[in-house]
Structure 1
Amino acid sequence: MTNVTMTVNGKSVSGNVEGRTLLSSFLRDDLRLTGTHVGCDTSQCGACVVHVDGLSVKACTMLAAEADGAEVKTIEGMANADGSLSVIQQAFQDHHGLQCGFCTPGMVMTAAALLKENPKPSETEVRDYLEGNICRCTGYHNIVKAIMAASGQDVSAIAAE
């Protein structure tokens, strides 16, 4: 067993983990932060995306021990300090960027990384950036629209699908 300490959503946390424990398992099982979903365990679906030291990471492919000493942000840390939805989360709600919701945490975390890197992405840039995230329900149209709306762009001319 290895002791790991990291800051998760602004709070210092510690735990003993086996060397093979994935970050996604540590977050979900040990810390009970179940918003980080695991859909494939192979890095294909993107439902487990979190930010580690400011970078998007698929938590199902990173060992918890690799995050020792890191700053980790999960979907639970995306809300505003008063508990209200972040701009990105609100845009997903306003523009129907979710259906079953399983992929949504990973999509929101990926969107946050994109908007940090590129504050006003084009539709093509959004679609390209989401390449590592799979949604089986929405067809991506409203997800893309939500991300563009979160960036402050006028999406009124984009038809709903």
Structure 2
Amino acid sequence: MPTVTMNINGRQMSANVENRTLLVAALREDLNLTGTHVGCDTSQCGACLVHVNGKAVKSCTMLAVEADGADVDTIEGQANADGSLNVIQQAFQDHHGLQCGFCTPGMVMSAAALLKENPKPTEAEIRNHLEGNICRCTGYQGIVNAIMAASGQSVAMAAE
């Protein structure tokens, strides 16, 4: 089995994986980074979203061997250095952008990718960006409000 080495959340990590092992499985099962969730295995829900070399990737669609040598950021790396919630995570908590929490890691990672690319997105841009993430609990308004707040914009700008 090949050894895959990645720089995950700023730390070099390695795992022996089969060639067919998905990145999400390597993260969860081989590297014990269980914050990335498996929701559908078909790239529909976005629960497995991580950043690979700065790009948002659904890790259920990428082989672990394809990430060899890559910089990978997961939900575990989103907290501040002192362990407190980062701006996006805190906004999700403050604006009820989560309910059961299953989709939340993918939503936070998706929001981080959006805000990196577009620091002040409109509500329509947020909703468009989240099309690849499914939430079965919240109805999305809390998620949109959270992303608006994390971007430093007034939540009142988002339609209720």
Deviation at 1:156, TM superposition (A): 3.7
- 1:120-131 matched pairs, under 5 angstroms: 120-131=120-131
- Counterpart in 2 of 1:19? 19
Paired residues of 2:38 and 2:60 also in contact (CA < 8 A): yes
Distance in structure 2 (CA, Å) of the matches to 1:52 and 1:110: 12
- Is the counterpart of residue 118 in structure 1 residue 118 in structure 2? yes
CA RMSD of aligned residues (A): 1.0
Do the aligned partners of residues 157 and 128 (structure 1) sit closer, same or farther apart at CA in structure 2, a change above 3 Å counting?
closer
Distance in structure 1 (CA, Å) of the matches to 2:102 and 2:40: 12
Distance in structure 2 (CA, Å) of the matches to 1:17 and 1:80: 30
- Counterpart in 2 of 1:153? 153
- Counterpart in 2 of 1:140? 140
* Number of residue pairs matched by the alignment: 160
- Counterpart in 2 of 1:57? 57
- Counterpart in 1 of 2:92? 92
Question: 1:78-133: CA deviations, max 9, x gaps?
Answer: 00001010000000000000000000000000000000000000000000000000
Gaps of 5+ in 1: none
Residues 61-70 or 149-158, more deviating: 149-158
Distance in structure 1 (CA, Å) of the matches to 2:133 and 2:156: 25
Distance in structure 1 (CA, Å) of the matches to 2:5 and 2:78: 21
- Is the counterpart of residue 7 in structure 1 residue 7 in structure 2? yes
TM-score by length of 1: 0.97
- Counterpart in 1 of 2:42? 42
Letter in 1 for 2:104: T
TM-score by length of 2: 0.98
Residues 9-18 or 102-111, more deviating: 9-18
Do the aligned partners of residues 65 and 149 (structure 1) sit closer, same or farther apart at CA in structure 2, a change above 3 Å counting?
same
Distance in structure 2 (CA, Å) of the matches to 1:54 and 1:108: 15
Question: Once superposed, which parts of structure 1, at least 4 consecutive aligned residues long, lie more than 2 Å away?
Answer: 156-160
Gaps of 5+ in 2: none
